[in-house]
Amino acid sequence: MLYWALLGLLLLLVILKVEFKNFSVMEQILYYLGYFFVLVGAIFLFLGGLGIVRLPDIYTRLQAGTKASTLGAMSLIFGVGLLQPQWLIKALIIIVFIGLSNPLSSHALSRGSFRHGIKPWTKETEKDYEEYIERELTKVEEEEEEVEL
């Protein structure tokens, strides 16, 4: 996802070098709106990638990734559609597909994770965390003793 954000920013930098010598006012407005949507899409894709890296469990990562990547990809593709008007219809079809498929796939992944028994992350106090670490260490030590026997 970070790759797409960087690619969007690169595309924006390349497009910004276009000079508006022979463009009408409407074409200039479409270009500026296209730049805006590409930039917004790149920012949302970057934040979605950051959320996937930083968040603690699969459910919050799915939420961050799905919402940010859906909005980011839709915005980026719409911006490209505005910058290249001959691609606008195709871009809108892709946007509809992304709007339908991303939430469905995220829901399927989270439901499968829940049915598989993966528990959501909860904020524990420091004492509970220390007890958890001690239990895990004793389990590891017991397993090592069993392996040695």
Going residue by residue through the chain, which has 149 residues, state the pLDDT in tens, using 9 for 90 and above.
Answer: 566 666 666 666 666 665 556 667 777 788 888 889 998 998 998 888 888 888 878 888 888 888 888 999 999 999 999 988 898 999 999 999 999 999 899 989 889 988 888 777 776 655 666 677 788 888 888 887 777 66
Q: Which long-range contacts (CB under 8 A, 24 or more apart) does 46-55 make?
A: 46/1, 46/2, 46/5, 46/6, 46/72, 47/72, 48/1, 48/72, 49/1, 49/2, 49/5, 50/2, 52/1
Say which amino acid occupies 77: I
Say which DSSP state 22 is in: S
Instruction: Copy the structure tokens of residue 131.
Output: 């007890």
d(CA 3, CA 36): 19
CA 111 to chain centre: 19
Which pLDDT score, from 0 to 100, does residue 2 have? Answer: 60
Sequence length of the chain is: 149
Give start and end residues of each alpha helix (H) in 17-57.
25-54
- The pLDDT, as a whole number, for residue 67 is 87
d(CA 108, CA 134): 35
DSSP three-state, residue 122: coil
Does pTM surpass 0.75?
no
